[in-house]
Amino acid sequence: MPLLKAYTSSGGQLAGYGNLIWVTLAELQQSGGVVSDQSVFFRWVYRLLAVGGLLMLLAIAYVWVQSSLAGKRWRARNTVEVAQQGADGRAKKERLRFDQLKVIRGTDVKLLEVEAETDDSGRDLSSGSYGPDYRTRNLIFLEPGNGNVRWLFDANEQLIRKTEMLSVDSDDHPGPVVAIYLEVEKGLHAESEVEREVVPALVHTNGSGYVELGKPVSRVLDQSVNADGETLGLLLEDQNKLLYREYSLESFSQTSEKLITRLDRQ
């Protein structure tokens, strides 16, 4: 069998043939084969890891696309396309969603919320909510008994931030609704993500007698109905002041106002 000569050094100097080591060619080839097999093994491991990472990224992208499409379909449910007359008097097509049919307790009237697309629909990719986004723009009051249908506003050019049925409730039995309380933001471009002034308002349970409770305010912090069911109290912020106002639920007129504190105190 062929032999290969090798020798070591001692102390940085060649020791010569006294330290001669004999290695067979078969042993050398076997050692090289082990190294080669290990390289092939790790090469395949790296490839499998790369493929696994790619498959994981594809799975994440698939889930994101499916969730976005599902959200788009959900937001577009119960929608119809109608011809509406704009502020300029010209007819235009508008996609509306009719949702949240509610019974006004103590009456035969049903309340239907009308939602319309926002102007920035389909532009928000960062949140995964790509597609139409809808906000409440109008209310419909239905009286099935006499066939009356009343739209609260003539056009859908406002944002209804809040709709609440006012009543005096006991622990066991909710009372009849005495009026509908609204917080309205004026303007077609009103969006819920931006804090703007709102107009508190009241309307009767059949949709008639809509009254705005003064000028727009910065925000309404809370509202409550007195135990007698005749007075609405509003805690609101307006012009750097914290105010408490009361309104008659019969005439919808303001009956009192109290200054709680100034918000710009030094």
Q: Give me 198's structure tokens.
A: 């709102």
Q: Locate the domains of the chain by residue range.
A: 3-72, 76-262
Residue 243's pLDDT is: 95
Residue 132's pLDDT is: 57
Measured torsion, CA atoms of residues 88, 89, 93, 98, in degrees rounded to the nearest 10: 100
Per-residue pLDDT in tens (0 to 9) along the chain, 266 residues: 454 444 444 444 444 445 555 555 555 555 555 556 667 777 888 888 888 888 888 888 888 777 766 656 555 566 777 776 666 667 777 788 887 789 999 999 999 999 887 655 444 444 444 455 778 999 999 998 888 899 999 888 899 999 999 998 877 788 899 999 999 998 655 454 456 889 999 999 999 999 999 999 999 999 999 988 899 999 999 988 999 999 999 999 999 999 999 987 55
Q: Give me 89's structure tokens.
A: 């008097």
**CA-based torsion, 62, 67, 68, 70: positive or negative:** positive
